[in-house]
Amino acid sequence: MDILSILGVLIGFAAIIGGNMLGGGELGALVNYHAFIIVVGGTLGATLLQFPPKVFLRSLRILSWIFVPQNLQLKKQIDKIVRWSSLARKEGLLGLESVIETEKDSFAKKGLQLLVDGNEPEVIRDCLEVELTTKEHLDTQAARVFEAMGGYAPTIGIIGAVIGLIHVMQNLAKPELLGSGIATAFVATIYGVGLANLLFIPIANKLKSLIFEASQAREMVIEGISSIAEGENPRNIELKLSGFLLEK
**Cα–Cα distance measured from residue 11 to residue 7, given in angstroms and rounded to the nearest whole number:** 6
Q: Residue 134: what pLDDT? A: 94
Residue spans of the domains in the chain: they are 1-31, 33-243
Which pTM value belongs to this model? Answer: 0.86
Query: Is 164 exposed, middle or buried (CB count within 10 Å of its CB: 0-12, 13-18, 19+)?
Result: buried
Task: Please state the rounded mean pLDDT for residues 229-241.
Answer: 90
**For the segment 134-156, what is each residue's pLDDT rounded down to a tens digit?**
999 999 999 999 999 999 999 99
Q: What are the pLDDT digits (tens) for 86-131?
A: 998 888 888 888 888 888 889 999 999 999 988 899 999 999 999 9
Q: Read off the pLDDT of each residue in 43-71 and give the average, rounded to a whole number.
A: 94
Given this model, what pLDDT does residue 215 score? Answer: 93
